[in-house]
Chains A and B, each alone.
Chain A
Amino acid sequence: MDFRFDIIIDYLPLLLKGALLTIGISILSILFGSILGLAVVLGKMSTSWYLSWPMSGYIHFFRGTPLYVQILMVHFGLVPLLIGQTNSIVAAVAALALNSAAYTAEIYRAGIQSVDKGQTEAAYSLGMTKRQTMRFVILPQAIKRTIPAFGNEFIMLVKDSSLVALIAAPEIMYWSNAMRGQYIRVWEPYLSAAVIYLILTYSLSKLLASIERRLEG
């Protein structure tokens, strides 16, 4: 079996451009996803059923259906509904953020529930309201504890973002598919993609490990 490095060199600029977009989409998605996820979990843990039921449904829906389906629905349904036409990058970020929010909501929930009940009681005993207690006492402690789980979620998101090639967002997989189409070859495009993802996720996990170490120190 011959292995044609020349076509990889040919496509490298496009693959790297794709990698930049993968990074961009992933960062925006985890950012929006974690903000939305916080809103979702606060709603879900609320004592008002009209907040907790819809948010609970949200989590069930986005965790219980394939990301593939969600991307198509957002691209062909939600985004055109909101802005009149569709745009693959907007749809990619929206779909990944909506999906990630459901997972980060559960991460926050675990963090919030891991804070000792005595903290809430101490805050209440000082006359603080539920909202003040959550904001000043519980969340600062909970979020610090969720950072490792967030790192994992971010790495998952980088890999999941490969699915948005489906709607022609020109990220890594989009260009690998194009390469396969042009040269009718399999190993070069997909091994290149795999190596780029490996480099991304490996550096990310190293980065996160050093952040965790710093937080503990």
Chain B
Amino acid sequence: MNPIIEVIDLTMAYGDHPVLHQVSVNVAKSEVIVMIGPSGSGKSTLLRCLNGLEKPQGGDIRIEGQSLMSPAVNMSVIRANIGMVFQQFNLFPHMNVIDNIMLAQVQVRKQSKEAARAKALELLKKVGLTDKAEHRPSSLSGGQAQRVAIARALAMEPSIMLFDEPTSALDPEMVGEVLTVMKQLARDGMTMVVVTHEMGFAREIGDRVLFMEQGVIIEEGKPRQLFDMPRHERTKAFLSKVL
């Protein structure tokens, strides 16, 4: 089966500062990829390249066969099919929770308001926040806000979900509720690429773990293999610091 995401020799620099160096990786449908590594290793940048929030200088990314580097590509169409969850939630503060989840359904998918509302309520139920539908994002806790952000992304019925350190901005007691939603999503067969420092999550849910450092994938493998029997010195050094 063809991979749903293909990253081929991806190279990127901010000015003179290289961030990604000839990175290649494939992701199969329903696979859960977890990217770990020290900050500044390029893992978030790589993730952001996958939906075009960063523009790499070289190499190629193909989503379901469609190259993002092609000048003819319509990024909005690609992005509507790729959900993204941010470290800082990025909910729209001037709208109620339910309007946050309805906006893109109505504007991008051209759904009727009724259909969008029904879908939003169904997703709020899934993330356990039905009672918050008419609340403003500012009244939510971090964990609730992040679950709304996940619901907002899922409302587009994406075939891929990207998570950029989704629990890093949360108080420790709220990490669990977000991870629970993500685990359920993984079990439902969602293709997921997750940048995280939650090693427990990586071990439990990850099909494959990538360890990145200085813009290069140093090592990749099944969680058990990478965590318990890392082959590279740098992987060992990193894991000894975080585990």
Chain A positions near chain B (C-beta within 8 angstroms) = 116, 118-119, 121-129, 132, 136-137, 140-141, 144
Contacts and interface: CB of A to CB of B under 8 A. Distances in A.
Contacts of A128: 76, 103-104, 107-108
A127 B81 contact: yes
B93 interface: yes
A92 B116 CA distance: 48
Contacts of A124: 51-53, 75-76, 79
Given A126-B80, A141-B93, A121 B104 contact: no
Contacts of A119: 90, 92
Nearest to A139: B94
Given A126-B108, A128-B76, A141-B93, A121 B86 contact: yes
Interface in B203-226: none
Interface in B41-80: 51-53, 75-77, 79-80
A121 B75 CA distance: 13
Nearest to B82: A125
Contacts of B156: 126-127
A125 B53 contact: yes
A122 B90 contact: yes
Nearest to A117: B90
B79 A126 contact: yes
Contact of A126 (B93, B94, B153): B153
Nearest to A141: B94
A125 B103 contact: no
A126 B88 contact: no
> Most chain-B Cβ atoms within 10 A of its Cβ — which of A116, A121, A122, A132?
A122
A122 B103 CA distance: 12
Using C-beta atoms within 8 Å of the partner chain, give the interface range for chain B: 20 to 34
Nearest to B48: A121
B94 A125 contact: no
Given A125-B53, A127-B108, A137 B92 contact: yes
A119 B51 CA distance: 15
Contacts of A140: 94
B81 to A, nearest CB: 7
A125 B76 CA distance: 8
Nearest to B51: A125
Contacts of A141: 92-94
A129 B76 contact: yes
Interface string B82-101: 11101010111110000000
B197 interface: no
6 A-B pairs closest in CB distance: A127-B80, A122-B90, A126-B104, A125-B84, A118-B90, A127-B108
A125 B83 contact: yes
Contacts of B119: none
B147 interface: no
B117 interface: no
A153 B77 CA distance: 41
A141 B91 CA distance: 12
A201 B28 CA distance: 66
Nearest to B93: A141
Contacts of A136: 103, 107
Contacts of B103: 126, 128, 136-137
A96 to B, nearest CB: 31
A118 B76 contact: no
30 contacts: A116-B90, A119-B90, A121-B53, A121-B84, A121-B86, A121-B90, A122-B84, A122-B91, A122-B149, A124-B51, A124-B53, A124-B76, A125-B53, A125-B82, A125-B83, A125-B86, A126-B79, A126-B103, A126-B104, A126-B156, A127-B76, A127-B77, A127-B81, A128-B76, A128-B103, A128-B108, A137-B92, A137-B103, A141-B93, A141-B94
A28 to B, nearest CB: 29
A123 B94 CA distance: 13
Most buried by B among A119, A136, A144: A136
